[in-house]
Amino acid sequence: MLIISDLLDASEVAAYREALTRAQWQDGLATAGSVSQSVKQNEQVASQCELGQALADKLRQRLSQHPLFISAALPQSILRPRFNRYRNNGHYGLHIDSAIMASDDGKGLFRSDLSATLFLSDPDSYSGGELSIDTGFGVQEVKLPAGSLVLYATSRWHQVEPVTAGERVAAICWIQSLVAADTQRELLFDLDQSIQRLQQLAEARAEHRQLTGVYNNLLRQWAIT
């Protein structure tokens, strides 16, 4: 699990929130699978809403240009983000996201390796609404400042706790990675972060060059294209 703070600044968050008041919202059950039907209670921007599509594409572009996100996710493809809203005890019970989803044009298939939630509401403006994720080392509850994002393996059980006051607005998206295996992707991320730190040290040029070679050879071995 990785937290990316301040993916959007305060003015950008405000612009998204204002635009979303003009979007077309619908019951979240419209996209719920057979299992999720019994545990999902929220609202989401309709997939055919042109304003929602424009906002989602703008967010996807931001993600595709963010160095830390790229290092961690190694994205091959990012599904168009979806905006959701929880209020009046809205919640999303314990579930695992679908492994295979339809592509944005509906003509292909998309393998979901990573999930991301971007918080768009100030955490003090609503009660409840924590994103609870089973990390494999215990359950962690995530409730981030507006504009911050949490990235986690789609294979993990997770849920959105009931929002008992106020409203929780967020964007969610899924990523198909060049490296499907979580453990391999995590090793590459740790290696890449070390390489970037070594790059700042003039006396570590040889080590930087060697580790860069190791990184690329591992990526060449593990990547699915």
Binding-site residue positions:
95, 97, 158, 168
Task: For residues 60 and 78, give the distance between their C-alpha atoms in angstroms, rounded to a whole number.
Answer: 7
- Residue numbers in the known binding site for 2-oxoglutarate are 168
Which amino acid makes up residue 140? Q
Q: Residues at the annotated binding site for Fe cation?
A: 95, 97, 158
Beta strands, E only, 103-200: 109-111, 114-119, 127-128, 131-134, 139-142, 149-153, 158-160, 163-165, 167-177
C-beta atoms surrounding 165 within 10 Å: 12
Q: What is the dihedral of CA 106, 109, 113, 116, to 10 degrees?
A: 0
Alpha-carbon distance of 208 to 111, in angstroms, equals 33
**In 3D, which of 180, 47, 150 has the Cα closest to residue 106?**
47
- Torsion, CA 132, CA 83, CA 22, CA 13, rounded to 10: 70
